A and B are shown apart, each in its own frame.
Chain A
Amino acid sequence: MVFEMRMKGSRAIVKSLENENVEVIFGIPGGATIPLFDELYDSSIRTILVRHEQGAAHAAEGYARVCGEVGVCTATSGPGATNLTTGIADAYLDSSPIVAFTGQVATPFLGKDAFQEADTMGITMPITKHNFQLRSVEEIPGVIKTAFTLARTGRPGPVVIDMPKDMQEKEADIKFPKKVDIEGYRPTLKGHIRQIKKAAEMLLDARMPIIFAGGGIIISGAERELYDLSALLQAPVTTSLMGKGAFPEDHPLALGMVGMHGRKAANYAINDADVMLAVGVRFSDRSTGAVSCFAPEAKIIHVDIDPAEIGKNVRVDLPVVGDAKLVLQDLIKLIKESIKKGSRGGKGGRTTAWQEKVKRYIKEFQPRMDYDDIPLHPARVIKEIMGALKPDDILVTEVGQCQMWAAHFCSITRPRTFISSGGLGTMGFGFPAAMGAKVARPDRNVIDIAGDGSFLMNCQELATVVENDIPVVVAVFNNRYLGMVRQWQEIFYDRRYSGVDLGTQPDFVKLAEAFGAEGMRVERPEEIAPAVREAFKSGMPTVIDVMIAHEENILPMVPPGRCLKDIIE
């Protein structure tokens, strides 16, 4: 039913958000968004005032990634909008559904270099799935509905709505559409059945099949199908960074993450495989190493909802465009039929040698984590933290060695419990994203695995979590270095440590306390798990300063541009 009411633009915006069941909006107001905030004052939507707009965008993304709903953030025109951009770019590269509302100068001032005017449309065009500038009050509900539809469907991504101030203030007769039709936007969901049939045959003929699962599995909710397919084929599963959580990493067929800092078992298995089923991955260079020697023996089947991903980075033998869940359902059905007809082997004989080999890889290359060193070895810290987490608890990471230690060593078993900035690699992502995650799932424990450098990039959000009672825990892996860059300088630049020494660090315990949060310091292996448990139990935002070795490296590592099997240990 479409009904018409006279109201201000700002009311139409907030009403549209309510219609989309938005429960929270992260942001900071300014001159160009006061009308919006005035309307939010009366709304049931929770407004969380962050302390820097970058925090708002990352929080919206963290929220979106753990619950699968669209995350919403807002900033004023000019500097507010430009502060959002890092978070928008982050969401773009990791295909996260967020909608960002930016203030803009009133339409008569557009293009006049008015106070706090920035070309938000121009700036955000290359880092959004789509963006809009409101040109009339009447179009507001349609634009917002379109924005949410675009953000969450197909390959999700960020959408920006730029709101000139007069569009928020003016009144008009407003209609709220229930549905919108977007002519140039028709994502393909159902895969082409002939292609899927071919995929089934290739997989049934394979002697050494492997499944490479990415974030697309999690986005489409295809974990169950992935699990079943792997069992059906007895095919081992590796994931990208974004795919962590798509397949239980404690499963006997789980190889762990592949790539530059992937598990050795995964890199070797990819090197051996004769057929690869890649689902919801985009073959990032951090996953593939040199593409010329990526999966050199394998025929590659690539399933993705975004046709432009197919053949973009690696050669593909069989493309299937479609939604991961639907395609895998069809694939499983066809494989089962084939097996039942007896025309094909299915599990058993054909792949036994391969299963043995995979098992051997997994066993032989189990990473070591039981270090007793003081200062602490990061692998041990991860082991202890994992020991204090329940399977549904959420682990968020910053960027750098800390991120790769987490990605390499953590065993993640459930979807949407591992949140990391994959594509953009944004230092400062983790803490605000953890905040967003905790808002989405207040019943779960949320911990940010942070580098000291990264944490300082958005530590102002301590004020937000304290003020809004969002009890996230930050474990600062304190090595007093921009560790990842230092590691590259050590390995590739003859130990010439340039611009990486963080010198005298702030006292992270006092820093936390200054904001009204809890601070703790751990120096010994046996202190880690109790500290994490206590932090969770306290119900207080807590920073744990974890004193790790000054110059530990994240290994194994495949040097950039090299083959996955060329591993430095």
Chain B
Amino acid sequence: MDDGYILAAMVEDKPGVMQRISGLFRKRNFNIDSISVGSSEKPGVSRMTLTVTGDSQILEQVIKQLSKLVEVIKVTRLDEGEAVTRELALVKIGTRDESERAEVVQYANIFRGRIVDVHKESLIVEITGDRPKIDAFINLVDVYGIKELAKTGLTAMTRG
């Protein structure tokens, strides 16, 4: 059974770490859906969130192989049910006239998105949430024409 898994990796903030990790995935023929990385609570340590697909044997290998990298301090699997997952998307949506703009603004409000740029022919909406929410918003505004889309990749944390 193929499934998606979320992993959090604490890694040393050193040059080349991203390459080491992405190289490992390529070399071991693992599938990686997204990587996001940023600072953690510890100085000098970054936190990386990876989403991977594969069966449980592959997941086990991913965790073990990642843990073997010298600059990887700790890898944990996050249980989706017990974790908060968030992604941020910037969506540039084409709007031909006032009424279209108004509609998009309304949708954005419903999704608690923010309008961060307004232009004659387009709007940029910033939207944060878990994957289904963002996907739902994108599906909804697709009819207006999505000119550009940028997603950060998932970041996640266990509750409690």
B-binding residues in A (CB < 8 A):
121-122, 125-126, 129-130, 133, 135, 150, 182-185, 306-308, 311-312
Contacts and interface: CB of A to CB of B under 8 A. Distances in A.
Nearest to B66: A308
> Chain B contact residues (Cβ within 8 angstroms of A): what range?
20 to 34
A549 B19 CA distance: 50
A308 B61 contact: yes
Contacts of A307: 64, 67
Given A121-B16, A183-B73, A184-B70, 7 more contacts: A125-B16, A126-B24, A126-B27, A184-B72, A185-B70, A306-B68, A308-B67
B16 to A, nearest CB: 6
Contacts of B70: 129-130, 150, 182, 184-185
Interface string B60-78: 1100110111111100000
28 contacts: A121-B16, A122-B19, A125-B16, A125-B19, A125-B20, A125-B23, A126-B23, A126-B24, A129-B70, A130-B70, A133-B15, A135-B15, A150-B70, A182-B70, A184-B11, A184-B69, A184-B70, A184-B71, A184-B73, A306-B68, A307-B64, A307-B67, A308-B64, A308-B65, A308-B67, A311-B57, A311-B61, A312-B61
Give 9 nearest A-B pairs by CB, closest first: A308-B64, A184-B73, A130-B70, A126-B27, A185-B70, A307-B64, A308-B65, A184-B70, A184-B72
Contacts of A122: 19
A290 to B, nearest CB: 17
Contacts of A306: 68
Contacts of B60: 311
A275 B154 CA distance: 45
Contacts of A312: 61
Interface string B13-48: 001100110011001000000000000000000000
B12 interface: yes
B23 A184 contact: no
A133 B90 CA distance: 37
A121 B15 CA distance: 11
A122 B22 CA distance: 12
Contacts of A183: 12, 73
Contacts of A125: 16, 19-20, 23
A336 B12 CA distance: 45
Given A126-B23, A130-B70, A308-B64, A184 B12 contact: yes
Nearest to A150: B70
A519 to B, nearest CB: 43
A182 B71 CA distance: 9
Nearest to A308: B64
A107 to B, nearest CB: 12
A305 to B, nearest CB: 11
Contacts of A135: 15
B13 to A, nearest CB: 12
Interface of B: 11-12, 15-16, 19-20, 23-24, 27, 57, 60-61, 64-65, 67-73
A180 B9 CA distance: 23
A69 to B, nearest CB: 21
Contacts of B71: 184
A185 B70 CA distance: 6
B142 to A, nearest CB: 39
A163 to B, nearest CB: 16
Nearest to B73: A184
Contacts of B16: 121, 125
A184 B72 CA distance: 6
A347 B147 CA distance: 76
Nearest to B12: A184
A128 to B, nearest CB: 10
Contacts of B15: 133, 135
A201 B23 CA distance: 41
Nearest to B10: A184
Contacts of A130: 70
Contacts of A129: 70
Contacts of B20: 125
A130 to B, nearest CB: 5
B48 to A, nearest CB: 13
A135 B68 CA distance: 23
Contacts of B68: 306, 308
A315 B49 CA distance: 29
Specify which of A129, A133, A182, A184 lies most central, judged by the most chain B CB atoms within 10 Å of its CB. A184
Nearest to B11: A184
Contacts of A311: 57, 60-61
A133 B19 CA distance: 14
A312 B23 CA distance: 19
A421 B55 CA distance: 33
Nearest to B69: A184
Contacts of A308: 61, 64-65, 67-68
Contacts of B67: 307-308
A312 B19 CA distance: 23
Contacts of B12: 183-184
Specify which of B16, B60, B68, B72 lies most central, judged by the most chain A CB atoms within 10 Å of its CB. B68
Contacts of A133: 15
Nearest to B60: A311
A308 B28 CA distance: 12
A122 B19 CA distance: 8
Contacts of B19: 122, 125
Contacts of B57: 311
A129 B69 CA distance: 8
A91 to B, nearest CB: 16
Nearest to B20: A125
Nearest to A130: B70
A311 B70 CA distance: 21
A126 B25 CA distance: 10
Contacts of B69: 184
